[in-house]
Structures are given as C-alpha cells and as structure tokens.
Amino acid sequence: MDLSEAVKEYRKEHKYSLREFANLCGLSHVQIYRIERGSKTDGQPFEPKVKTLKKLAAGMGISFDEILMYCEDLVIRWDKDDMEYKPPIERQEIIDKIILATPEQFALIKSYVDFVTK
C-alpha cells in the first residue's frame, strides 16, 4: 500500500471529510487531496516535505517511521529545518549504521544524501 492509499483508507475508515482530516493533521484540505491523488494539480508527482509527513503521521496516530513505510516510491523533500544538529561521529561509525539500517531507514538516508548532494 502506498501513501495515497493509506491516507485515503484511514480517512474513509474514520469517516473524516477532507477538511476534517486536514484540520486534524494541521494541513490544508488541498494538501490532503494531493496526497490522496499522488500528484499535484498540474499532474506532477507529489513530493511531500518531511514536516508534512510528520503532521500526517501525527494525525493518523502513527510514528514518522511508520509513515515512511508508505513512501517507498516517493521523493521526500528535505528542508534545512528538518535536520537536527548531532555531534560528528567517525566515518566508520556512519558506515556501520548504514549497513545495519532497515529498508525504511535506508530510504530515509538515501533521501537525505540526495538532498545534500544536489
């Protein structure tokens, strides 16, 4: 199941209108409509921002990691605000963490690397 299907199914199960669900998530009804369509109004693929996904997850009562499982085929847009400062660690420690990453974590790492190497 992808993100658009998951959101649509959740909204229908809980009998929320677009506007009700949008208010619950702190998003606009247009954003929810685009997520459910899987594309923008101009037909381009929907590329959610991290903060949008976090709000969506909160509205659905699931974790950010869980919402990422529905985003396997999506390009996720990162903003500088999405990155929390962490003290630097050695390269080998980073490599070890990447090797042990779950597929969902790896997808998130890949999105971040793509973002910072543009």
CA Rg, the chain, in Å?
16
User: Residue 21 is encoded by which pair of tokens?
Assistant: 């669900």
Is residue 115 classed exposed, middle or buried when 0-12, 13-18 and 19+ CB atoms within 10 A define those classes? middle
Helix axis angle, 18-25 to 29-37, nearest 10°: 110
Q: Would you list the domain boundaries of the chain?
A: 3-116
CA distances from residue 52 to 8, 28, 57, 116 in whole angstroms, order as listed: 16, 10, 9, 19
Q: Provide the CATH topology of domain 3-116.
A: 434 Repressor (Amino-terminal Domain) (1.10.260)
Return per-residue pLDDT of the chain as tens, 118 residues: 889 999 999 999 999 999 999 999 999 999 999 899 887 767 777 788 888 999 999 999 998 888 888 887 777 777 666 665 444 556 667 777 787 888 888 888 888 888 877 7
- Encode the chain in three state secondary structure: CCHHHHHHHHHHHCCCCHHHHHHHHCCCHHHHHHHHHCECCCCCECCCEHHHHHHHHHHHCCCHHHHHCCCCCCCCECCHHHCCCCCCCCHHHHHHHHHCCCHHHHHHHHHHHHHHCC
